[in-house]
Amino acid sequence: MSEPPEHPPGRTAAQASADGHKPLLTVGNPVLTVPLIVAGACLAIPFVAMLWVDSYARLTPALIGIPFFYWYQMLWVLVSTLLTVVAYVIVRRREETVRRERHAGGEEG
């Protein structure tokens, strides 16, 4: 779900960093929330799966005659796409929340 407003530190940090009033960290938002960690995990999992070559370097079980090595990696195209979609939804909701709160906070552009 999107950010509930009971994260006041997240909100202030986002506001300040968005306005550039204070020299804050430029790396995203310093406050990590559960959805953000999930999004990060979704983006990280394909790296582990694909770079761990030994986990899939074998011929069987074959699928319609295609060795495991090949169909498994093609399957991961779909899996990693789904994971990226999840990350996208989470990140977009968060950005919308931050934006709404900033407008509600009466910032002038």
Partner 1 sequence: MKDGVNGVALAVFLFFFVVVTAMGFLAARWRKAENADNLDEWGLGGRSFGTWVTWFLLGGDLYTAYTFVAVPAAIYAAGAAGFFAVPYTIITYPLVFTFLPRLWSVAHKHGYVTSSDFVRGRFGSRGLSLALAVTGILATMPYIALQLVGIQAVLDVMGVGGGENANWFVKDLPLLIAFGVLAAYTYSSGLRAPALIAFVKDALIYIVIIVAIIYIPIKLGGFESIFSKAGAAFAAENPATGKPRGSLVPGADAQWSYATLALGSAMALFLYPHSVTAVLSSKSRNVIRRNTTILPLYSLMLGLLAMLGFMAIAAGVKVKNGQLAIPQLFEDMFPDWFTGVAFAAIGIGALVPAAIMSIAAANLFTRNIYKDFLKPDASPEHEAKVSKLASLLVKVGALVFVLTLDKTVAINFQLLGGIWILQTVPALVGGLFTRWPHRWALLAGWAVGMTYGTWRAYATPSATQDHFGNTNLIPLIGEKGYIGLTAFALNVIVVIVATFVLKALKAPDGEDLTRPSDYTADAGDPGVRAELPPATAGAPGGH
Spatial distance between the Cα atoms of 102 and 19, rounded to a whole number of angstroms: 10
1 in contact with partner 1 (CB under 8 A): no
Give phi and psi for 98, each to the nearest 5: -60, -40
Q: Which one among 8, 54, 61, 106 touches partner 1, defined by CB under 8 A?
A: 54
Q: Which stretch binds partner 1 (CB under 8 A): 4-12, 30-38, 52-60?
A: 52-60
Is 85 a binder of partner 1 (CB under 8 A)?
yes
CA pair distance 6, 102, nearest whole angstrom: 15
Among the listed residues 8, 20, 61, 106, the single contact to partner 1 using CB under 8 A: 20
Q: Which is nearer to partner 1, 5 or 67 (CB)?
A: 67
**Amino acid, single-letter form, for residue 38:** V
The reply to whether omega before 61 is within 30° of 0 (cis) is yes
6 binds partner 1 per the rule CB under 8 A: no
**46 part of the interface to partner 1, by CB under 8 A:** yes
Among 7, 24, 33, 38, binds partner 1 (CB under 8 A): 24
Nearest to 91 by CA among 24, 53, 56, 39: 39
